[in-house]
Structure 1
Amino acid sequence: MDDDRLLIRPMALADCDRVAEIRVRGWQSAYQGLIPRSYLDAMSVARDAERHRARFGQGDGSVVNLVAERDGEVMGWACHGPYRDGEVRTADAELYAVYVDPRCYGTGIGHALLLEALEERAALGHGRMYLWVLKGNSRARRFYERAGFEADGAEEPFEADGVPVPEVRYARTLGP
C-alpha cells in the first residue's frame, strides 16, 4: 500500500480525541486575527473531545462524521447532514465542518473530505449543500469557491467574547 494514500472513512469513537485536537488547533490557527485571542486560548481539546464522545452515536444517523487518515494517523475531519434553518431541517444538505491538521494545509486533505461529503449528500438525493464561513476568512472562502460554492448573500451573527464575527452562507448545487 502506498504510504501517501489517503483514506476517507466514518469517524469512530476512538477518533474523538484526535478530531478534537484537529478542530481546536484548526480554530486557533485559521481564526487568528478573526476571533479574539482570549476566545481561541480558552478552547480546550479535552472539553471538545468530551463533547464529541457525548454526541457520538446519537441521533438518527443523518449527521455524518468523516475522518481522513494517512498512514494510520487521522489528519482531518468533516461533518455534514441536513441543512438546519433554525431548528428546522430542510431537504437541502449542510457542511457543518471541515478541519485539517494545520501541518497539512494545502495537501488536498480538506478537498478530499469535501468531495466525499458532496458525493454522499448527492447520493442521498439532496439538491443543494450550504455551509457557513467566517466573513473575514478569505483562505476558507477561496477554498469553497474553488469547489463550486458561491456566497448567496445570507449573513449570520456570531459572537466570540463579546466581539461580533459575522458568518456568510455559501451554497452549491449537488449532482450532475
Structure 2
Amino acid sequence: MDERLRAPFATLHVREMALADCPRVAEIRVRGWQTAYQGMMPQAYLDGLDPAEDVERLRARFEGAGVGVESLVAEWDGDVVGWACHGPYREGEVRTADAELYAIYVAPDRLARGVGRALLRESVARCTAAGHGRMLLWVLQENASARRFYEKAGFAPDGAEEPFEVDGVEVPEVRYARVLGGS
C-alpha cells in the first residue's frame, strides 16, 4: 500500500480545475465508471471506456462550460485524486434556479478517505454562496454505496426517476435533493 494513503499528515486540498488537469480527470472519470458501475451497466460498455478518448470530450466541455458551471479537483499531497462538477440544474435544455451536482468521481485507490466528502462539501458551499435554494443530483438506482454517501451528506430521494440508456440498456436513475442555505 502507498505509504501516503496511511500517513496521518497527508494533505487534501480542493481547488478549481485547470485545463491541464483534463488528462488526470479523464482517467479518474473512466476508472470511476468502471469501478462504481460494474454489474449495473453492460460490461462491454465499461470495458470499452478509454481515458484517452474521454480527455478530448472533457477538454471541450471544460472550455465550453456555461455560466455558473464549476469543475473542482481534489489534490492529495499534490496529486489529483478526485473531480466534481456542478452548476445550474438542467430541466431538459433549460437551466433553473436550483443547483445540480453533475458529476463526482474519486480515484478508486482513494475511495473512503474523505476525498468525495471534501469535493461534495465544497460544491455545496459554492452553490449555497451562489444563492441556489436546492442542490439536485441523479444517481443510479442500484448504486447503494453512492446513495448512502449522498444520504449521509443530507440529500434524500425526491421521488423523481428516469432511465439512463447505456448501450441500448435502460439503467434507472433516481433524483436526490438537498435544501441549501439556512435550512
TM-score band, normalised by shorter chain: over 0.9
Deviates more, 1:59-68 or 1:84-93: 59-68
Residue 95 of structure 1 corresponds to 101
| Contact kept? 1:3, 1:70, Cα under 8 Å | no
1:38 aligns with 2:29: no
Structure-1 separation of matches of 2:82 and 2:129? 22
1:152 aligns with 2:158: yes
Extract structure 1 runs of 4+ deviating beyond 3 A. none
**Residue type at the aligned position of 1:4:** A
Aligned residue pairs total 175
Residues 1:3 and 1:17: Cα distance change in structure 2 (over 3 Å):
farther
1:14 aligns with 2:52: no
| Contact kept? 1:3, 1:71, Cα under 8 Å | no
TM-score, length-scaled by structure 1? 0.96
**Residue type at the aligned position of 1:89:** R
Question: Which of residues 103, 112, 119 is equivalent to 2:118?
Answer: 112
Distance apart, 1:61 and its partner CA: 3.6
> Aligned-pair RMSD on alpha carbons?
1.1
Residue 28 of structure 1 corresponds to 34
Residue 55 of structure 2 corresponds to 49
Question: Which of residues 104, 123, 128 is equivalent to 1:122?
Answer: 128
Percent of aligned positions with the same letter in both sequences? 65
Q: Which runs of 5+ in 1 are unaligned?
A: none
Question: Which of residues 44, 61, 78 is equivalent to 2:84?
Answer: 78
| Contact kept? 1:129, 1:172, Cα under 8 Å | yes
